[in-house]
Structure 1
Amino acid sequence: MNELSVSPSPDPIARRQLLALGAAALLPTGLRAQEMSNTLPDLIDKSRQAVVAVGTYSATDSPRFGFRGTGFVVGDGKLIVTCSHVIPNPLEKELAIQVPGSGNASGAPQLRPVKLRRRDTLHDLAVLELVDDKPLVATLSLAPLDEGQPVVREGSAVALMGYPLGTALGVSLATHRGIVASITKAALPAPTSGSLSERAIRQLREGQVEFLQLDMTAYPGNSGGPLLEIRTGKVVGIVNMVALKGTRESALSAPSGITYAVPVKYLVPLLAP
């Protein structure tokens, strides 16, 4: 066995520094990664007001707000991004978002009416717009696009934010942390056979849609929520689907630990004026 010998140092301070460096080198990789992610609590505090619950509203329903998924505020504070499958099709009720109350003086969540601005069923994305002219203060920034380069690298530390269990226990934000395990290509299944066009069938076969495969657990209520790169705090994807072990109910009882997100590059065209 090879041994590392260190000559005694007459300077006790220098010796302590040398020992500290040696101890740091022996720290497990996971522990060093944990130290590097100390910015996550700050990222959560900074982002939580921009992550909203998305659903339908009816004055005759009980409750009046029907939760369907998560969304997040971008741009000038009037646009909300979510997944297309979160929005009913056809629209039979008014759409609304529930804004968390942590930034309000009353501490109570706010219901705000929204309308569907654009929808991209191929990439399962939708952009909503506030009905009134009062923008939300908190917004999230999208990661900048570099032509030909992925917006996030495999192995990057990421966090998804949203409402995994809906609003049954109140508008309580939850954050899950993991890594980008793979950047892969797949095709989204159509909700119904009537949605299959010739183009959709061709893309199902070719798997032309890029996805971020995540080594982390998400739940049905997370659909439409932001995927943030912890290092930059920018949105790199939109949480889309979870790999199931069995039935749909197994997403809660026996989660697979594999989640997929739509890269933010597919969102940018929907935000154009």
Structure 2
Amino acid sequence: MFRTLVFSFFKLTSLIFIVSNVHAHSIEAVVAKIKPSVVGVGLYDALGAQTHQLRGTGFVFGDGSLVATNYHVVSHDLDPKVVQYHIVFSGSGRAPNIHRAEIIAKDPIHDLAILKLDTKLTPVVLASDEMLNDGAEVLLTGFPIGAILGLFPATHRGIVAASSPDVIPSVNSNMLSNKLLEKLKNPYLIYQLDITAYPGNSGSPLYNADNGEVVGVLNKVFIKESKETVLEKPSGISYAIPIKYLKVLANGANL
């Protein structure tokens, strides 16, 4: 009897190890597939302290010439008196490729923007419009702390915690802005995530850990204390815009 129990336990633990190992290899393959499509989004400023400034993350989709990111990443008004234009960084390492880009569609309400490249890169596969269930395992890849040492995309892993209205609760009424009040009137559902992200992850693709299909666009993190402490004390709570809103934006612009 004892031998039978020991043997059964050994078979069970071996099976668990095999399943876990297969899942780990599956995630590795999914991340490797997504990485070539993840790009940095920034600004070229001829007179800036840094001429090539990385401001967030984006990802290639469609025919390979389109880049999705957050509207707030590219909402900076270009100075007509200075040579400034939007740029996209592709590749990885200390010498990434730099492409000039043009904003061709934007949706400030859903914090989305689409840029056009004069070249084609590897596009992601967009998921269906159906929302993921709570508890679904997801990944995001981007540039959490910028490109101080070069362009090195980092991947974070987590789950969908909830589908909740796009309104982060305010501590008191003094923090209620006109924009926030408007959202309270017309809320729409976004993904609340149990995943660690940082400011540089804005625009990162949120994708299904099983097949790599992009289900959303990361657009903000919940800050526990202040913006100055977000790097050393991350809340682990992040938010992403469902991919259906990117599709609506692209279709509306006939892309």
The aligned residue for residue 120 of structure 2 is: 135
TM-score, normalised relative to structure 1: 0.79
Moved over 4 A (4+): 5-8, 31-35
Counterpart secondary structure, 2:144: coil
Does the alignment pair 1:251 with 2:230? yes
After superposition, where does 1:70-85 map in structure 2 within 5 Å? Answer: 70-85=57-72
SS class of match (1:253): coil
Q: 1:196 deviation in Å?
A: 4.3
8 Å CA contact 2:86, 2:101 repeated in 1: yes
Residues 55-99 of structure 1 deviation map (CA, whole Å, 9 limit, x = unaligned): 100233342211110000001111000001101332333000111
| Cα deviation, residue 162, structure 1 | 0.3
Distance in 1 between residues matched to 2:133 and 2:218, nearest whole Å: 17
Q: Is the 8 A contact 1:114 1:128 kept in 2?
A: yes
Alignment of 1:8-47 (within 5 A): 18-23=8-13, 36-47=23-34
| TM-score normalised to structure 2 length | 0.85
Structure 1 Cα separation of the partners of residues 75 and 193 of structure 2: 26
Residue 241 in 1 paired to residue 220 in 2? yes
Name the larger-Rg structure.
1
Q: Secondary structure at the match of 1:112?
A: strand
Q: Is the 8 A contact 2:201 2:218 kept in 1?
A: yes
Match of 1:269 in 2: 248
Hey, what's the Cα distance between the residues in 2 that align with 1:35 and 1:250?
Answer: 37
Match of 2:172 in 1: none
Partners of 2:60 and 2:67 within 8 A in 1: yes
**Residue in 2 that maps onto 1:55:** 42
Q: CA–CA distance in 1 between the matches of 2:149 and 2:86?
A: 21
2:89 maps to 1:98 = yes
Q: 1:33, CA displacement in angstroms? A: 5.9
* Selected match of 1:87 from 71, 74, 87: 74
Matching of residue 230 in structure 1 with residue 221 in structure 2: no
Deviation per CA, 1:128-178: give whole Å up to 9, x if none.
111x2x212x11111022xxx42x111111111000111111001100001
SS at match of 2:47: coil
1:104-253 matched pairs, under 5 angstroms: 108-130=95-117, 132=118, 134-136=119-121, 138-145=122-129, 149-150=130-131, 152-187=132-167, 196=178, 201-202=181-182, 204-206=183-185, 208-253=187-232
Q: Distance in 1 between matches of 2:70 and 2:63?
A: 20
Counterparts of 1:164 and 1:110, CA distance in 2: 19
Say if 1:256 and 1:207 are closer, same or farther in 2 by CA, change over 3 A: farther
Identity in percent: 35
Aligned residues of 1:122 and 1:188 also touching (Cα < 8 A): no
Give distance in 2, aligned partners of 1:34 and 1:21. 15
CA distance in 1, matches of 2:20, 2:239: 23
Q: Measured at CA, do residues 181 and 117 of structure 1 come closer, stay the same or move farther in structure 2, by a change above 3 Å?
A: same
Q: Is the 8 A contact 1:163 1:172 kept in 2?
A: yes
Return the offset for 1:49. Answer: 1.3
Count of equivalent residues: 242
